[in-house]
A and B are shown apart, each in its own frame.
Chain A
Amino acid sequence: MSRLRLIEIAVGAFMVAGFVALFFLAMKVSNLGVASVTDGYQLIARFDNVGSLKVRAPVTMAGVRVGRVEDIRFDKDTYEAVVSLRIDPRYDTIPADTFANIFTAGLLGEQYIGLAPGGSDELLADGDTLDYTQSALVLEQMIGQFLFSKAEEGAK
């Protein structure tokens, strides 16, 4: 192979590598393509308010990650947020009356879903809905309520 040809092949490979890097930045780093989580079974949870929960946020049980948030939608009939959770198939013994909370990791950290198992003998299967949920704590609301109650105390 001539040296000129080698140089041309190297330049071609260089440009391809550059485009791969740009593609990686566009799809994986930026908000263009949010890859979905595929393995595991799906559970649905409805919340009044999901706060700043993000797709791919962890779902934990007793602090251990058992799955991920797959999708967050808004139900325009019930005015609720519908969150689909993708749970690892190893953890297939979640009771039907499990409680789903939206927690915040630390004061400023990201939000995640914590599952607190119930006592029922029935187990959740693919596509089931979690009936007991608690919305995200919105810090501004809490501060507002706190100030409001303080003001009421002061008025007495």
Chain B
Amino acid sequence: MLDLLAQLGRSGLAALERLGRGHLLLLGMIRGLPSLAVRPRLLTAQIYNIGVLSVLIITVSGLFVGMVLGLQGYYVLSQFGAAESLGVMVAASLVRELGPVVTALLVAGRAGSALTAEIGLMKATEQLSGLEMMAVDPVKRILTPRFLGGLIAMPVLAAMFSAVGVLGGYFVGVGLLGVDDGAFWSQMQAKIDLHEDVVNGVIKSLVFGLVVTWIALFQGYDAVPTSEGVSRATTRAVVHSALAVLALDFVLTALMFGD
């Protein structure tokens, strides 16, 4: 019985400790940001890894999500004789929710897991301690560029996702199902507000970018330096990022559109 209590306390303390280490790492990465100005090349390489290499999956998924929204939205809206509102429905759901959230989930799966595995392996093969031995701060040199790269890449990818998705919805709604072309755009433009919807979507994806890259980097940095530890850390990075994104999305939506 006492053993059980001690066990519970130990795991609770361990969780708190991990949380603290995570935030210290975030602080360290933010403090490392100015040093990036000296070596912008490190940043471009990471934007390439996280952003450019994700463009294909993001645009293809965006196109199909938009097309499915077009089909499903038309089915429901035409029952109320309001098929012209299809544009509003497609654009609002993409710009407000699906764009930032699905992009964050895809990036967590495609780039976040890669980041965790990369950092975890660096740790397992003692490259990080090697850097420290040479008086190079691994947080500044390795983690910070990846962090900022993810932060920049996420909103760009989310904007692409939404834009391609709207075009996909347009293609299905107007091209295949015969919704009026002008009504599709005019209803959309009348209802979608630049600040309320588009800018809030960008803010959301910025927050998601921070959370996803932070979790991925921390899991890698904190991984048990064995092959099993790295594989576990990679799984945890994807699972934790997905949960954090979905939970944060609820909070952000409540804050932005709740009143």
Residues of chain A at the chain B interface (Cβ within 8 Å): 4, 7-8, 10-11, 13-15, 17-22, 24-26, 28-32, 34, 37, 54-58, 65, 68, 105-110, 112
Of the A-B pairs whose beta carbons lie under 8 Å apart in the complex, a sample of 14, sorted by A's number, is A11-B51, A15-B47, A18-B155, A19-B156, A21-B164, A24-B166, A25-B162, A26-B194, A28-B189, A29-B188, A31-B189, A107-B80, A108-B82, A110-B183
4 additional contacts (CB under 8 A) given A30-B197, A65-B182: A7-B45, A29-B188, A56-B183, A108-B82
Q: How far is the CA of A7 from the CA of B40 in the complex (A)?
A: 13
For A4, list chain B residues within 8 Å (CB). 41
Q: How far is the CA of A24 from the CA of B167 in the complex (A)?
A: 10
Indicate which residue in A8, A11, A13, A21 contacts B159 across the interface (CB closer than 8 Å).
A21
Q: Which 6 A-B pairs have the closest CB atoms?
A: A106-B81, A18-B156, A56-B186, A21-B163, A21-B159, A30-B194
Chain B residues numbered 147-198 whose CB sits less than 8 Å from any CB in chain A: 153, 155-157, 159-160, 162-164, 166, 180, 182-183, 185-190, 192-194, 197-198
Chain B interface, DSSP helix/strand/loop, else mixed: helix
For B182, list chain A residues within 8 Å (CB). 37, 56-58, 65, 68
In the assembled complex, B115 has its CB within 8 A of some CB on chain A: no
Question: Are B163 and A14 in contact (CB-based, < 8 A)?
Answer: no
For B163, give the chain A residue with the smallest CB separation: A21
